[in-house]
Amino acid sequence: MTSKKKKIVVAMSGGVDSSAALAILKEDGYDCIGVSMQLWDYSKKEDAAGAAAGSCCSLDDIHDARAVADRLDVPFYVLNLEKVFSREVVDYFVSSYLSGATPNPCIKCNEKLKFDALLKKARTLGAELLATGHYARIINVAGGGEDGTGPRLLKGVDDRKDQSYFLFTMTGEQLSNVVFPLGGLTKQEVRAYARKAGLKTSEKKESQEICFVEDGDYAGFMAAGLSDKAAGLAGEIVNSSGLVLGSHRGLFNYTIGQRKGLNLSGGPFYVTAMDREKNRLIVGPVGELFSEGLMAGEINWINREYEKAFNDKGLKDVTVKVRYRHSGVLSAITPAKEGRLKVDFTEPVKAVTPGQAVVFYSGDEVIGGGWIERAIK
């Protein structure tokens, strides 16, 4: 066991990953505090049986987190962040869809809730560190500054569970105060550890959907919030030449690459783009889904050495991922106006989607990333 007795707050979602993270850190000698974030009011969504299927951070999840903390004899608190979550994540989700983009609320939740609001709360509890159950690794290179030293974010060793894509918004300061106990483990090893520790969450299924959207029905969530306004968002479906093929029910009902639900004759047709200014949904054959590159904004560089090289002359041979399950493609990255950048792929990439994250890797290291603004055909 380590001689360290650092106080650490462990973010507990009620699942097996965060439960195992707490157990690992407690065994390693840390002074642990378990904290769950109450993010959403489920009182009108859940039946008496408990959580909505596939959700996370529900009332039942908080109950499970408390049970794990009790078993491990760790203090446990529930932090109500509903207002922050609504403002920073839900409002972002809605405005993105209304603008014709496809949002990634899990990344925003990490950025605004876990590694901002929760990290600040950890400090008020006297904790030096914050831990989560993410499958990613942090290494520290001695020193600091722009010469390649400082904390580095790496992929988790389990390729099937690696979550580094969702963490590209982290800063060096945050990485210096965060611990990922599961980064060097596989999911199978994590479950085995939880079983051995007797944690009730050891066999719990993983959450698959966004916590505030039941059954993955994003369009239904949007329509319910817009109520009678939704009908006024209908518009034309056109091909790349502008020929009108049909009508859509509001751009928020669709995403790039979608084939089902278009109700068009002929085809097959896929959603290839959205024209927000004209409120048009653009469709075409599968070949029109492929892009040669993209433009991105709101760039965050984790590795300052790469940022400096990028600002000097751009970067070549960087692996770029345009979605979580994307295997990545070698690309060149060059500066563009107003802090944006251009990505040129070495081979065409399918379904580049505005609103999603583009994340840059050098080997296993996440060097930075940004938000996709548009695809370059």
CA distance 190 to 135: 10
Q: How many residues does the chain have?
A: 377
| 267: its two tokens | 């085809």
- Verify whether residue 211 is a known catalytic residue: yes
- Cis bond leading into 103, ω under 30°? no
- Of the listed 32, 56, 57, 211, which one is catalytic? 211
Q: Residue written as tokens 């609320």?
A: 105
Q: What are phi and psi of 362, to 5 degrees?
A: -120, 100
| 290: its two tokens | 């492929």
Half-sphere exposure of 354 (CA within 13 A, CB side): 20
Task: List, as own/partner pairs, every contact residues 139-145 make where C-beta atoms lie below 8 angstroms and the sequence separation is at least 24, other chains included.
Answer: 140/176, 145/304
Q: Residue written as tokens 């650490």?
A: 8
CA distance 274 to 251: 7
- At residue 218, the 3 state secondary structure works out as helix
| 356: its two tokens | 């999603």
Q: Residue written as tokens 């959700």?
A: 55
Closest C-alpha among 212, 260, 191 to residue 57: 212
Provide the edge-to-edge strand list for the sheet that holds 270-275.
244-248, 235-238, 280-284, 270-275
Integer-rounded Cα radius of gyration of the chain: 22
- Of the listed 32, 56, 57, 109, which one is catalytic? 109
- Verify whether residue 57 is a known catalytic residue: no
| 363: its two tokens | 């080997």
H or E segment and range at residue 176: helix 172-176
Residue pair 319/155 in contact by the 8 Å Cβ criterion: no
Pairing outcome for strands 31-38 and 76-80? parallel
H or E segment and range at residue 65: helix 59-71
Q: Which residues are catalytic?
A: 109, 211
